[in-house]
Amino acid sequence: MSAIDFILLPKKKSLGSNFFVRRSLPDTRKQMVGPFIFWDHIGPYVIQDGYEIQVRAHPHIGLSTMTYLFSGQLVHRDSLGNVQVIKAGQINWMTAGRGISHSERTEPFEGMNTMEGIQMWVALPDEDEDCAPSFLHKGLKAIPTMDIDSITYSILLGSYQQTNGAVKGYSPMFCLSAKPTKGHRAQLWTNEEHESALYVFSGAVTIDGKVIEQGQMAVMKPGQSIEYSCLEDSNIMYFGGKPFPQKKQIWWNFVSSSTQKIERAKQRWANHEFESVVDEDERIPLPEK
């Protein structure tokens, strides 16, 4: 029997001016993998003179976001007063808790650049949904690595095989990034209480005879370890964690265990009650749906 439960195909979504992503989570068949509730593949974009990506100020509650780039750079601004340029190989980790607003933009620059990366949302446990908002930036040198079957993995979030990642998070989780080459075979393990998935940014791998291609996510059966083989030079992430006992509710940028909290967050944004993003005047209005 295959260890794969689902193979999810991404949907193209617009996040703002000139900015589209490939979204794998949530899916109608699978809302979350462990605590991971959103999975957006950014790019690759060729950024040329005069071309800007602009995600205007918008709010969040009840989650943490991680932005991790393979190439290019973005400027993060938030309502805590943080202004942070994120470059390839670095992590921006923002915890919304009871409420935060932020924006993301490419600044004008000379020449040409390619931007590609991932932005994921990690739902907070019920007891941490109303924690104070915070922001953390981790440079390349602050991200631990480990070798498995001659492949080097960056440990981005949580912990894996007793190795702590760059960011702890609020619940049991892991997120690994690697670029295995054609012909490589490797085995990856997960706790029997955890859910897990493997995402292919580029290249192609096989798991139990099934080909997982660029932009596809293989969601494993709970507690299942996997063995994969690279058909091409590839860029992958393996991630997951312990699922929550109850389903989370999600509406726009809001995640919560409570309908009332989401309704209140809608009112707060519509009434301009969230703190403003530093050095920003533009904002995304509350959607009608």
Question: Quick one: pLDDT at residue 160?
Answer: 96
Q: If you search the block for the tokens 């509406």, which residue do you land on?
A: 251
Question: Quick one: pLDDT at residue 4?
Answer: 96
**Cross-strand pairs, 174:** 158, 240
Mapped onto helix, strand or coil, the DSSP state of residue 130 is coil
Cβ(63)–Cβ(123) under 8 Å?
yes
Cβ(97)–Cβ(128) under 8 Å?
yes
Other C-beta atoms closer than 10 Å to the C-beta of 193 total 12
d(CA 59, CA 131): 15
> Digits of tens for pLDDT over the chain (289 positions)?
799 999 999 998 877 666 788 999 999 999 999 999 999 999 888 777 666 788 999 999 999 999 999 998 899 999 999 999 999 999 999 999 999 999 999 876 666 678 899 999 999 999 999 999 999 999 999 999 999 999 999 999 999 999 999 999 999 999 999 999 999 999 999 999 999 999 999 999 999 999 999 999 999 999 999 999 999 999 999 999 999 999 999 999 999 999 999 999 999 999 999 999 999 999 999 998 7
The token duo for 280 is: 């920003």
Question: Quick one: pLDDT at residue 110?
Answer: 62
C-alpha triplet 48, 22, 59: angle, nearest 5°? 85
d(CA 46, CA 170): 35
Q: If you search the block for the tokens 């750079």, which residue do you land on?
A: 73
What residue type is assigned to position 218 of the chain?
A: A
How many Å is the maximal CA-CA distance in the chain?
A: 56
Question: Quick one: pLDDT at residue 144?
Answer: 98
**Cross-strand pairs, 63:** 123
Model-level pTM? 0.95
d(CA 174, CA 163): 10
Question: Quick one: pLDDT at residue 95?
Answer: 98
Nearest alpha carbon to residue 276 among 102, 133, 131 = 102
d(CA 12, CA 119): 14
